Structure 1
Amino acid sequence: MRWVLRSVLALALLVFLAVVALVLMPTEQIARLAADRFEEITGRQLVMEGAVRPSFFPTLGVQTGPVSVSNATWSREGEMLRAEGLRIALDLTALMRGEVRITAIEADAPQVVLERNAEGQANWEFGGSAGGSATPGMAGEGTPFTLDLAEVTGGRFTYVDHATGRRVELSGLEGTARIPAFRGEAAFDFKAVTNGQPFAAQLALADFAPFLEGKLGDVALTVQAGAADLRFAGRAGWAPMAVEGALEARLGDLSETLRLIGATPGARPQGLGAGRVEASGRLTVTEAQSLHLRGGTVVLDDNRLTVEADLTTAGERPKLTAQLTAGPLRLAAAMGGTGGEIGGGARGGTQAEGWPVAPLDVSGLGAMDASVALSAESVDLGVVRFGATRIATTIDRGRAVFDLRQIAAYQGTISGQFVVNGRSGLSVGGDLTLAGLAMQPLLMDLGGYDRLIGSGDLSLKFLGVGNSVDAIMRSLSGSGRLSLGKGELRGLDVAGMLRTLDLGYVGEGQRTIFDGVSGSFTMENGVLLNDDLSLRAPYVTATGDGTVDLGARLLDYRLRPVALAAVDGSGGVMVPLLITGPWASPRFRLDLEALARERFEEQARALEERAKLEAAEAEARARAELARRAEEELGIVAQEGESLEDAARRRAQEALGAETGRLLERLLGSGN
């Protein structure tokens, strides 16, 4: 800002002084003298093409043809300044009093190039033989001045930072400036086009002099771009850059704002700024280029949040630290759902024919790192809906971790961690604990299934990969465990069906009341496998196993209910029940083939047991007969607890001992 005013004013005063001092000299010589003096001050060449036409009364002025100022020697962007013509006028009476009152400055099609090289050197840092700055007697260097009106038509502005690769271009620049008092108010008004987006801006200064030096001062800024409107009122300075004040922005659907900053507008889902983005609060920008918002409010469509936020720009990526507080948050469209009332379970969560296949765009996770705490009255994600919610979110290099500190959902609570990883494609995972959740509204929202009524606990570890809800559901892997208390299964009367073997107990109005259900499961490639289901109900118990294809939303499950069993679990009637087909309209049928097979196997086992019993009885009879004959013929009598074999062995040993005794007696008797 300061170098522009100094350069223009220096040029103007040099020309005017030349006109006054050398009124009788040719205009070409006047222009040459002004150019020489300008180069001595700035180190840059000033070229005036064509005639220089002075005026003397009622204003002292000069009008030129094309004018250009050379750029820094290291620049490859062409001239630093070029205009098709300049007209400058001063109040002669004020000048004679020692005051600088510029009545008019007009620039026709000016083109200005500002740039920094890779080493950080700026092309507006002049280096002339006079020390690279205006002398103390010049305007802009301690000399007060006023400006009635400055006008720019057909201008172009370019800023290039070769160190960062950033390039900003403004075309079609039209603007005015008014500085009625050097130490007083000033107004700047301009419009231009950047990145194909027209915009207009108005800047009002309460005190021009300190702002010229870069010091903090009261400012009011308004920017409009299509439906977007931004207003700031507060204090600002540019040496160093600092801002503090009240910000109010109505940004429409963000498309104009994104084009202004060089980003590509894209469709955003309802709830995340599809048609309405607003922000307000107390904004502070520090010398370190950090931004701080206090008492902020952000509106995204129908979602309103209060915000306390800090954004730092040092490092590889910006870092956002924020505390968000909200009422009801409606984010169903962002997750491919349709939204609805909290906990009602009336809308079925997803369409009956399958999971949403719309791509999920999480590229925004890589824009910055973040540590954000959210507290909301409720959150509707379309697929599922929560009540009072407290979540701490950490984003690091495109990976978001949601620490679920408190989530009220479906009459219960949810805790644990949920992860969205957008570093390479999209994957989601989690380790969740659900306690006391009402199953009917939960399953209705998750998959349109409303037949299970009851509350229960669920522990779940899972991982899914894919760029849509459908792809994620078809890739799910993990494990979990489910435990339900008292409830009912609608559409099926297990006890009635077992008593009559009649499928008429399936359908509307039928139900199975149970005391508890438990089971564990694993998941692989989107298919859930369970083999230990246990159901306890009055007059009925059941076990079950089978699969649930989560991606295709299909059931293939076998339930083995037993009705009218004894207290010890024996007896009763058991008929396997097959549950197959889409879970929105499953088919129930008695597995009579399996029943016949199981009964045949039971009969075979009974026959085998009977054969074993008969063989044992025959063996016992044979042993008894053998013992009788041994006693009668051999004198072998088995003692209590002694087998026949042991008795025979004992009897043989006794006989051998007796015979040995007789032989010894004979030998001893013959020896006497």
Structure 2
Amino acid sequence: MVRAHLSRPWTSVAPPSCNILIDTCHYVATLPNGTKSRRWTSSRSCGHGIGQRSCHAPAYVHKAKIKVASMLKKVGIALFAAAVITVAVIYVMVPDEAALKSLIVERVSGQTGREVKVGAVSFSLDGKAKLVVQDLSIANAAWAREPVLLRASRVEVVVELMPLLEQQLHMRDARADNITVNLERGKNGERSWVFKQAAGDDVAPASRLDRLTVFNLALNYFASGEALRTEIAEVSLNQSAGSPTVQNIALSGTLGGTTIQVNGTLDGLARFAQQEGPLDAKLNATFDQLSVNVDGTLSQSSQLFVVQAEGKLPKALVSSELPVTASANVDLKWPRVNATDLKFEALKSRGVGDVLLDLSRDKPHVSGSLVFSELRLSSAEDSKPGPRIFSEQPVDFSALRTFDGDLVVNAAKVIADPPFNNFSAKAVLRNGELQLSNMIAKTLGGTVAGSATVFAKAPQYALSVNLELDGLAASALSDLAAGPLDGEIALSARGNSPAEWAATSNGQFRAGLGKGRIRARTADTLTGGVMAIFDALTKNSEWVELNCAVMSFDLKKGKAVSNALVADMSNATLVGEGYVNLGKEELALLIKPHPKGVTLNVAVPLRVTGPIRNPQYALDEAAAARRVGGVLASIVFPPALIAAFADIGYESSGCLPGEAAQSTASAAAAGAKIASDASATAAKAAGAAANEAGKILDEAGKVTGQAAKSASDAAIKAGKVVGKAVNSTLREVGKGLKSIFGN
């Protein structure tokens, strides 16, 4: 009984006292906190006869204390020995390095079906069972350009101990450093990261991984010869405490020089990877100043994401930072992504649409329709005049080589110079060649229709444009003239900037201005001051009546040479020739005026030269002195020259004669009037003028007949561009013009 009580941690036992009356000894034990505990009595006698004797603690009390201490010491030694033995047994049972390598290779190769190589492998029990693998590599697909799919310099894994003792690999926590991943899409749409499980292997299912952290990840993606490289400083996946299937993701790095961050949750990543269920994602990604929110469900059969984006497009995607806001319902059925109810705003352009992205082809293919309420192609800064008409700033079309597409584009309003309304076009993009067809738009009070092609395959871009102008308001182009403008433009060019396109352009430009008006000061300049002399005829009006104007230029290597340049006003007729150098932005024109009802000596030719933006005007008196008499009869109103435009839709210009004979008679009457005026000045000059006028009138009659026939033939050809007959007519007119302006 005493030993049982002494097994408690008594600090001391008080000396016993003897009770002679009952002949017993009493003991009091004291606890470590100083409290005296229970009392008990011993059965031994403490008295012998009469009187009291002192009691002493029995010897077995001291022996009990010694035995307890000894027992505790032995237990501690036993426990320590057991721990040492356990650790020793674990180390004995854990596979050696060669066996661990074999285990890792077997497990990873079985999951991927690829060749796996590992370097040094070590195992430690530093609080947790850790497995460290050096120089791990997994082979890429046989057809891939890069032989290695994944390479890691170091992988540290916390494993479950008991399965490891049975040579099974169950991971709970993993960390990888200096990882390189090479992903590639093949020509037939195959993907290098899709694995085939090794045939005949009984592979254990993937174990739960509570945490994965990767440092210094280089991710390379190759497709159609293009490479996209991403560097990620850190990415982590953590098991959520609230759900065994939810992973918290955090990522930071760079994409093409653009800083990226991704935060959010993934629910069902493991089951989705094994095609056993959907993946729910709630993510926020930041690309510089662009924020993208993803909230939706991804499944193997029917996949839906809701995406919202707001901020600025990073420079990795565009040449400059563009503010953008967008949202869409994304139906993802790999490898196709269908974005419906797409709403976006970028660079103050707003639109909606439905777009299908197909990733199964050699290049990503985009199809669908986009409708812009406002499409901005230029800004206020772009509209400011620069040192050149055609900018030398390079235009980057390289993005057209990265994808193909079929889109229908409509825009209620296009902000450009000039602006457009009700724009529509069909866009087809193949291998860097963009074709815009069925293009039509309202602008400058009229309509522009046609097609355009951009060739972005070569290092130097190429352009081709075919446009028809119908009813444009000349006053919207310049405040110097007013009237309806019709025309045709057929141009091709090469280069990487508008300046290079202008310098290399080839093609034709033809236009006709119908009945309208021209400012008096402009008419005065073009007629060499004649209009100022006859100011009374204009009644001091700001405007001069314009019957018509026609022009035709042929372009070759940026130089536009006129083959017809005529304007007929109420008080004068102008005929010109010359060229405009678009590359140098210079012009050199000779304009021959003839005021109606004015003697010949005041009709002085005008030379217009210098920069297009700031031309210089100078009178050419020497040219006026050469055969100025009767020659002018053929240019007062040259019907053959005007008739050449009958087959390109300028009937409304007012320049076409009703009948060829009437036009010839008008020319003859004008010639006679000029001859009469000339004779009043000098008989010799009048005679020479009359003879010259007769020759020119005869030639004019022939030319007029040819022109009428050409117009009839052109009408039969349903508006085709001038044929050989018209070209012949223009050559004959050109001969007449050369006799006027000299060789």
One of 30, 49, 62 as aligned partner of 2:129: 62
Aligned to 1:267: 319
- Is 1:30 paired with 2:62? no
Separation (CA, whole Å) in 1 of partners of 2:122 and 2:243: 33
Separation (CA, whole Å) in 2 of partners of 1:537 and 1:365: 49
Separation (CA, whole Å) in 2 of partners of 1:544 and 1:438: 23
- Is 1:593 paired with 2:622? yes
SS of aligned partner of 1:515:
strand
Paired residues of 1:491 and 1:509 also in contact (CA < 8 A):
no
One of 301, 304, 310 as aligned partner of 1:250: 310
- Is 1:219 paired with 2:219? no
Separation (CA, whole Å) in 1 of partners of 2:172 and 2:586: 80
Aligned to 1:12: none
Aligned to 2:173: 105
Separation (CA, whole Å) in 2 of partners of 1:267 and 1:493: 46
Q: TM-score normalised to the size of structure 1?
A: 0.66
Task: Map 1:498-517; keep pairs closer than 5 Å.
Answer: 498=530, 511-517=543-549
Separation (CA, whole Å) in 2 of partners of 1:49 and 1:194: 33
Separation (CA, whole Å) in 2 of partners of 1:169 and 1:387: 42
SS of aligned partner of 2:626:
helix
The 1:369/1:38 distance shift into structure 2, 3 A limit, reads closer
Paired residues of 2:544 and 2:570 also in contact (CA < 8 A):
no
Give 1:361 shift: 2.1
Separation (CA, whole Å) in 2 of partners of 1:584 and 1:504: 32
The 1:360/1:490 distance shift into structure 2, 3 A limit, reads farther
Separation (CA, whole Å) in 1 of partners of 2:223 and 2:521: 71
SS of aligned partner of 1:357:
coil
Give 1:114 shift: 7.6
Separation (CA, whole Å) in 1 of partners of 2:92 and 2:508: 89
Give 1:513 shift: 2.6
Give 1:316 shift: 3.6
- Is 1:549 paired with 2:581? yes
Give 1:108 shift: 6.5
State which drifts further: 576-585 or 428-437.
Answer: 576-585
One of 451, 462, 468 as aligned partner of 2:491: 462
Aligned to 1:98: none
One of 453, 457, 475 as aligned partner of 1:419: 453
Give 1:194 shift: 6.0
Give 1:427 shift: 2.6
One of 238, 241, 249 as aligned partner of 1:188: 249
The 1:376/1:211 distance shift into structure 2, 3 A limit, reads same
Q: TM-score normalised to the size of structure 2?
A: 0.60
Aligned to 1:577: 605
The 1:500/1:358 distance shift into structure 2, 3 A limit, reads closer
Percent identity of equivalent pairs: 15
Paired residues of 1:28 and 1:52 also in contact (CA < 8 A):
no
- Amino acid of the residue matched to residue 295 of structure 2? A
Aligned to 2:667: none
Paired residues of 2:247 and 2:266 also in contact (CA < 8 A):
yes
Aligned to 1:480: 509
Paired residues of 2:223 and 2:362 also in contact (CA < 8 A):
no
One of 65, 87, 90 as aligned partner of 2:158: 87
Separation (CA, whole Å) in 2 of partners of 1:253 and 1:474: 33
Aligned to 2:326: 279
- Amino acid of the residue matched to residue 338 of structure 2? H
Give 1:580 shift: 0.7
Paired residues of 2:123 and 2:129 also in contact (CA < 8 A):
no
Aligned to 2:375: 329
Paired residues of 2:287 and 2:314 also in contact (CA < 8 A):
no
Separation (CA, whole Å) in 2 of partners of 1:512 and 1:585: 23
Separation (CA, whole Å) in 2 of partners of 1:560 and 1:167: 62
SS of aligned partner of 1:276:
strand
- Amino acid of the residue matched to residue 125 of structure 2? R
SS of aligned partner of 1:459:
strand
Aligned to 2:336: 290
Separation (CA, whole Å) in 2 of partners of 1:47 and 1:159: 24
Give 1:247 shift: 1.0
Separation (CA, whole Å) in 1 of partners of 2:580 and 2:102: 87
Q: 1:429-453: CA deviations, max 9, x gaps?
A: 22211111122333x5xxxxx4233
Q: 1:54-88: CA deviations, max 9, x gaps?
A: 76xxxxx5244557767469996598666464335
Separation (CA, whole Å) in 2 of partners of 1:67 and 1:275: 44
Give 1:294 shift: 0.9
One of 387, 405, 420 as aligned partner of 1:370: 405
The 1:510/1:528 distance shift into structure 2, 3 A limit, reads farther
Paired residues of 1:116 and 1:163 also in contact (CA < 8 A):
no
- Amino acid of the residue matched to residue 203 of structure 2? S
Q: 1:381-410: CA deviations, max 9, x gaps?
A: 34x332331122222222222225321111
The 1:390/1:126 distance shift into structure 2, 3 A limit, reads closer
Paired residues of 2:234 and 2:253 also in contact (CA < 8 A):
yes
State which drifts further: 592-601 or 452-461.
Answer: 592-601
Aligned to 1:390: 424
Give 1:562 shift: 3.3
- Amino acid of the residue matched to residue 522 of structure 2? L
Separation (CA, whole Å) in 1 of partners of 2:503 and 2:291: 45
The 1:286/1:280 distance shift into structure 2, 3 A limit, reads same
Separation (CA, whole Å) in 1 of partners of 2:226 and 2:528: 77
- Amino acid of the residue matched to residue 175 of structure 2? A
SS of aligned partner of 1:267:
coil
One of 124, 129, 132 as aligned partner of 1:52: 124
Aligned to 1:410: 444
Aligned to 1:310: 356
- Amino acid of the residue matched to residue 544 of structure 2? T
Aligned to 2:26: none
SS of aligned partner of 1:473:
helix
Paired residues of 1:389 and 1:407 also in contact (CA < 8 A):
yes
SS of aligned partner of 1:514:
strand
Separation (CA, whole Å) in 2 of partners of 1:457 and 1:163: 45
Separation (CA, whole Å) in 1 of partners of 2:629 and 2:107: 111
Paired residues of 1:53 and 1:63 also in contact (CA < 8 A):
yes
Aligned to 1:655: none
Give 1:411 shift: 0.8
The 1:504/1:427 distance shift into structure 2, 3 A limit, reads farther
Give 1:501 shift: 5.8
Separation (CA, whole Å) in 2 of partners of 1:555 and 1:47: 75
- Is 1:536 paired with 2:568? yes
SS of aligned partner of 1:252:
strand
The 1:114/1:132 distance shift into structure 2, 3 A limit, reads farther
- Amino acid of the residue matched to residue 307 of structure 2? L
SS of aligned partner of 1:200:
strand
The 1:421/1:220 distance shift into structure 2, 3 A limit, reads same
Larger Rg: 2
Separation (CA, whole Å) in 1 of partners of 2:389 and 2:226: 46
- Amino acid of the residue matched to residue 157 of structure 2? L
Aligned to 2:482: 453
User: Runs of 5+ in structure 2 lacking a partner?
Assistant: 1-82, 110-115, 164-169, 631-674, 676-682, 693-743
One of 276, 297, 301 as aligned partner of 1:235: 297
Q: 1:13-36: CA deviations, max 9, x gaps?
A: xxxxxx9x9776142432447776
State which drifts further: 543-552 or 320-329.
Answer: 543-552
CA RMSD, 1 decimal: 4.6
